[in-house]
Structure formats: C-alpha cells, structure tokens
Amino acid sequence: MAGAVGGTGGSGWTWRPVARDPLLARAFHSCTELRGRFYLVGGLLAGGAREPSSDMVVFDPAEGQAVRVGARGGPRRSHHDAALVGGRWLCVVGGWDGSRRLATVSALDTERGVWEAWTAVPGSCPPAGLSSHTCTRLSDRELRVAGREGGTRTQRRYGSIYTLRLDPGARTYCYKEEGYHTVSRSGHCAALLQSPGPHPGHQLLLFGGCNSAEPEVAGHWSHGKIKEEPPVAPRLMEQLASLVSSGQGSRQGPRGLRHHSCSVVGPFAVLFGGETLTRARDTICNDLYIYDTRKSPSLWFHFPCADHGLKRVGHRTCLWNDQLYLVGGFGEDGRTASPQVCILDLFI
C-alpha cells in the first residue's frame, strides 16, 4: 500500500500496513485509545448493511493483535461518537441503532467489563437525535457535541451546539443547548486546537460535512480554561512541519468532504479520506490534508494520492506512541470494509 507523493524534494507519505484482522473490518464505528489499546465499538460490517454491529473489539497496537470483548449489554450503534471519561468509562454518544437516531449515552466500565445505560437528569435538553456528529472532550466530565439533528426529513437548516455534562458516580448525563448555531453539517470532524495570534486560548473547529471549504468555530475559550492535555507526538509533529514546508502540498482545503478522519497532532489537524460532495462518481477519496495553526491566518496543505487502494470512508485515525494509526473504513467500492491497520509514514 503506497500513498507516496512525488516531487523533486523527495518528500512524501504513505499508509504502511502493520496489522490485519477480520475483526477490525468495519466502518462508521468509533475508535478510542485507552491505556495503549484501541477500543472499536459498533459500526457497519458491510456497505448496505441496515443493522449496526453491537460488538466491541480491542486492538493492541504494540502486539498487533485484536480480540472481541464479550462485554454484556453492548449498544447496537453506527455513525456515533465516543469519549473517555475518568480514565475508566468509554461513553458512546448518540448514533444510529438500526431504526432511529439517538441522543442517549451508553458507557462501558472498562474495569468491570460491563455496559451501562446512563440516565438523563431532569432538565436535560437533548438533541432530537444524533448521527454523524462529533463529541469533543473539553474536560474529564464535559463534552462539546456538534452536528445536525434528526433525519433527512426533519433536520434543521443549521447545526446545533450542545454541552454534554457527564457524572460517572451517578451514571447520569445532561445536555445543554448553546446559544449559537453553525452551518448545517453531517459527517464532519472536529478539532480542539490552540488559537493562533496574540491572544492564546483554544478553539473548537469543525471541518467538512457541508459544501464549505473553510472550518467553522464551534467554541472559543480563553487561556487556561481548557485543561485537556493532547497526546504528545514530538517526532510526528516535527515530520508534519517538514512536510508542509517542503513545497509539495498545494494551498487548498477540502471542499464538500464528509465521513473523513481527523486527528490533532500538536498545532496540526490531520485529515484523511472521506467522501466528496462535489462529484457524482468516484466519490471516495484518498487525499491527505493538513491544517497548520502555528501562524495567523492558519494554512491548508493538500497532498493528493494516486493509489486507489488507499481510498477510505467511515474510517478512524488514532494517535498513540508518536504514530498515527488508520483503522477500518470502506474502500473504493464503498461497500467492502478494510481489515487493515496502517501507520502514517512521512518521508522528508
């Protein structure tokens, strides 16, 4: 599998396969790192499948091994999102259960190996139903939920922003709708990044899920408000800095992209693959985009790929041990789920 980008400078990139297991073959799942293992929950096992999977697979990247975990009461979900709470609970938020879109929270107690259905507190104002949304950790008990509510017949013309507060001790959650909206988006991604410019802080940016090429701010916090510590990846961060300064990439952001992946690596948001809304055929992509926030204004860098074997949609990327992993997703035909795990290699 090669995704190398040519050029006189010799810079390029590839997704290098490091593991392969049929248990990993799924799309529109969640993939969350906890204590050096990737927890894959649900998803669709084949294109056209009406029923999401309810199983959970744990992948150990150090050993290259995947195992199915027989935790009781697993939720049947796809197009959901998941976040870690308290270093123990894997909270699955919203998604499609095969018949409707949900806004509920199911949590895996990773110490006991048991799924729990948490309860909404009185006064919670949940969305009408969520799928292909994003959940971003702001603190250990607070998530920012962004995305379009409802189905294609009932959805609003704008996207709502919710704060979701979680209480592991009480097994409860509470939604609060924020007082501003975004462009109507579905299948987008979200990245919590430090704000460039003279006033340091954090901003939550939404990428894709609509026709716009520009990211949209879904929250801004002044210096010291966000305590989240992203994974440290000094080598990968240095390689990304070298790649964007190599002159190989075009200054072009993704337009009309959805169901792509996004991972934050220091000041960079790294986007890959997805499905384009800008053409009727050959819609599944294999492009790498890097959003560089080191200076204001932030800059896009686009690195195309000629290898059709790298086309992915509904996949996930996960950062661990200074490496970016690609897990699952449907391939070029939009129906066949990839059983491979790959690592992003950068050649500078």
| 154 has a pLDDT exceeding 60 | no
Question: What's the confidence (pLDDT) of residue 3?
Answer: 47
What is 59-82 written as a DSSP string?
EETTTTEEEEE--BT----BS-EE
Task: Tell me how far apart the alpha carbons of residues 49 and 129 are, in angstroms, rounded to a whole number.
Answer: 20
Question: What's the confidence (pLDDT) of residue 157?
Answer: 67
Question: Pseudo-torsion of CA 236, 238, 244, 245, nearest 10°?
Answer: -160
Task: Tell me how far apart the alpha carbons of residues 1 and 338 are, in angstroms, rounded to a whole number.
Answer: 12
Pairing of strands 119-120, 172-183: parallel
| Beta carbons within 10 angstroms of residue 261's beta carbon | 23
**pLDDT one-digit tens code per residue, 279-310:** 888 899 999 999 999 998 999 999 999 899 99
**Residue 150: band (very low, low, confident or very high) from pLDDT cuts 50, 70, 90:** low
Angle at alpha carbon of residue 248, lines to 242 and 250, rounded to 5°: 115
**Residue 10: band (very low, low, confident or very high) from pLDDT cuts 50, 70, 90:** low
What number is the average pLDDT over the span 323-345? 97
What number is the average pLDDT over the span 9-13? 73
Q: Which of 242, 178, 171 has the alpha carbon at shortest distance from 10?
A: 242
**pLDDT one-digit tens code per residue, 217-266:** 999 999 889 988 778 899 999 999 999 999 889 999 998 999 999 999 99
What number is the average pLDDT over the span 181-198? 89
Q: List Cβ neighbours of 325 (8 Å cut-off, separation of 6 or more).
A: 18, 38, 61, 317, 318, 319, 341, 342, 343, 344
**pLDDT one-digit tens code per residue, 113-140:** 999 999 999 999 999 899 999 999 999 9
For the domain made up of 13-346, give the CATH fold.
Answer: Neuraminidase (2.120.10)
Question: What's the confidence (pLDDT) of residue 73?
Answer: 84
Task: Tell me how far apart the alpha carbons of residues 240 and 315 are, in angstroms, rounded to a whole number.
Answer: 21
Question: What's the confidence (pLDDT) of residue 6?
Answer: 42
**pLDDT one-digit tens code per residue, 48-83:** 888 999 999 999 999 999 999 987 889 999 999 999
Question: What's the confidence (pLDDT) of residue 214?
Answer: 85
Predicted model pTM: 0.94
Question: What's the confidence (pLDDT) of residue 1?
Answer: 43
What number is the average pLDDT over the span 266-287? 94
| 7 has a pLDDT exceeding 60 | no
- The H-assigned helical ranges of 132-268 are 234-244
Question: What's the confidence (pLDDT) of residue 320?
Answer: 97
Residue 329's beta-bridge partner residues?
A: none
Q: Where are the domains of the chain?
A: 13-346
| 184 has a pLDDT exceeding 90 | no
Angle at alpha carbon of residue 122, lines to 121 and 123, rounded to 5°: 110
DSSP assignment letter at 337: B
What's the alpha-carbon Rg for the chain, to the nearest Å?
19
Question: What's the confidence (pLDDT) of residue 151?
Answer: 54
